[in-house]
Structure 1
Amino acid sequence: MTAEATDTLADRAWEAAAAVPDPEVPCVTVADLGILRWVRMEDDVAVAGVTPTYSGCPAVLAIELAIEAALRSAGFEARIERLMSPAWTTDWITTEGREKLRAYGIAPPVSGQGKGALFAAPEVACPRCGAADTERLSEFGSTACKAHYRCRACGEPFDYFKCI
């Protein structure tokens, strides 16, 4: 197989894997979150490197199985490699992923705020009205990676995707 054919197969495999939605936050894909690190061809097998958002993420196996199923549905033999290092960070979320979170009603992580200080409350803008006058109601929202906030301007509650 030529290098060009391998690149084309790898591109097709990437497209299949990258389209997999996150099971906990279905408005974003695994590529949007940056947890799909790479897809490459090894002989006739599409191998996907996946970094969990954190080691205890309850969705990690579901994500890996969904990526494997997507690759198989696209006609590939598939293997997943779980990559624990370097550790995932919210800095890996793409610009498009951040906008998808906001449109879905989840405030995206605020870069540079909250890292290294688990219970530090960052300044979070409301994803619905954009107001900065918000308050944290709970350190944990609908999943462990989110905190629960309320906007004082529009009164709406919302989740904030914590900065890691």
Structure 2
Amino acid sequence: MRARRAAESVPDPELPQLTLADLGVLRGVEVAPDGTVTASLTPTYSGCPAMAEMRADLAARLHAAGFAEVRIRTVLDPPWSTDLITPDGRRKLAEAGIAPPGPAPRRTPGPVPLELSPVRRAVPCPRCGSADTEETSRFSATACKALRRCRACREPFEHVKEI
């Protein structure tokens, strides 16, 4: 489907090495009998500042592909999780020197439990593969990434946090 291919090619504004499809935020693309395209996006987190750019870029790409009437729908349920990043997206992150996330914490129905201390896991260095890394800042260029440093090769790198 031409509309789906066009939508799947849109790069993420904050992680341009990934497409919206790689990131798992593109939830669907439908073409109505009258030719109207409806694409569904899910934000990575509530208040994600990149959503406006994602919506605009997606609409522009679909218009450029020849679709006159385009609607972008925001889908909040089910919520986005880093588990939705595709294997190809994880590979692209690592190739760009960004550590991909590990498995997301399991969600259960009902209230979200409060965790007072972060759960730590070994985050391997995307450059040398060493698990001997440390977090130097909980936040990096974007809220969804942390800044880390490898103790083996001494290189700094970003890590996409598990959500």
Q: State the TM-score, normalized to the length of structure 2.
A: 0.90
Match of 2:35 in 1: 44
Pairs within 5 Å for 1:51-90? 51-76=42-67, 77-90=69-82
Deviations 1:68-125 (A, max 9, x none): 0000000012110000111100010000000000000100001146987573332100
Q: Is 1:30 matched with 2:20? A: yes
- 16-25 vs 111-120, greater mean Cα deviation: 111-120
**Structure 2 CA distance, aligned partners of 1:56 and 1:119?**
22
Q: Aligned partners of 2:105 and 2:46: how far apart in 1?
A: 21
- Partners of 1:142 and 1:120 lie apart in 2 by 21
Indicate the SS of the match to 1:155.
Answer: coil
Report the AA paired with residue 57 of structure 1.
C
Question: Aligned pairs, how many?
Answer: 154
62-71 vs 39-48, greater mean Cα deviation: 39-48
Gaps of 5+ in 2: 108-112
Alignment identity in percent?
A: 51
With the length of structure 1 as denominator, give the TM-score of the two structures: 0.89
Counterpart mapping for 1:71-110 below 5 A: 71-76=62-67, 77-110=69-102
Secondary structure at the aligned position of 2:159 is classed as strand
Question: 1:55 offset after TM fit, Å?
Answer: 1.5
Unaligned runs of 5+ in 1: 1-10
The alignment's C-alpha RMSD in Å is: 1.6
Structure-2 separation of matches of 1:110 and 1:39: 28
For 2:119, what is the secondary structure of its paired residue? coil
- Aligned-pair distance for 1:153? 0.5
In 2, the alpha carbon distance for the partners of 1:20 and 1:154 equals 34
Contact 1:102–1:108 (CA<8 Å) still a contact in 2? yes
CA contact (8 A) 1:30 1:36 kept: yes
